[in-house]
Structure 1
Amino acid sequence: MRVYLPCTLPALARAVTTGELGPAPLTGFAVTPALVEWYVSGDTEELEYVALMEAARASLRMLAADKADGFAAPARRVVVAAEVPDATTLVSPDLDDRGRVRVLESVPLAKLASVHIDDLSAQEDVTAAIIALPAADEGDDDAQFTVDGADAHELLWYATQEIPDLLT
Structure 2
Amino acid sequence: MRVYIPATVTMLRALNAKGEVAAVGDTAFALTPALRESYATGTAEELEYAAMIEAARASLRLLAGELADDPSGVLPRRAVISADVEDATLRPDLDFGVVRLAGSVPVSLVAAVHLDTENAEPAVRAAADVIDAADLGDPDAEFTLGDAEDHELAWYATEELPFLLELL
Could you say which TM-score interval applies, normalised by the shorter chain?
A: over 0.9
How far 1:123 sits from its partner (Å)?
A: 0.4
CA distance in 2 between partners of 1:42 and 1:99 (Å): 15
Partner of 1:123: 121
For residues 17-96 of structure 1, the aligned pairs below 5 Å read 17-22=17-22, 26-70=26-70, 72-85=73-86, 88-94=87-93
**Letter of the 2:47 counterpart:** L
Partner of 1:7: 7
**Letter of the 1:74 counterpart:** L
Q: Which runs of 4+ in 1 moved over 3 A?
A: none
Deviations 1:7-62 (A, max 9, x none): 11111111111110116852110000110000131110001000010000011110
The alignment's TM-score, normalised by the length of structure 2, stands at 0.92
CA distance in 2 between partners of 1:76 and 1:24 (Å): 17
CA distance in 2 between partners of 1:52 and 1:107 (Å): 17
Name the count of aligned residue pairs. Answer: 165
CA RMSD of aligned residues (A): 1.5
Q: Tell me if structure 2 keeps the 8 A contact 1:30–1:48.
A: yes
Structure 1 gap segments, 5+ residues each: none
SS at match of 1:164: helix
Structure 2 gap segments, 5+ residues each: none
Percentage of identical aligned residues: 48
Q: Tell me if structure 2 keeps the 8 A contact 1:25–1:106.
A: no
Q: Tell me if structure 1 keeps the 8 A contact 2:92–2:98.
A: no
How far 1:139 sits from its partner (Å)?
A: 2.6
SS at match of 2:55: helix
For residues 128-143 of structure 1, the aligned pairs below 5 Å read 128-143=126-141
**Letter of the 1:78 counterpart:** A
How far 1:69 sits from its partner (Å)?
A: 2.5
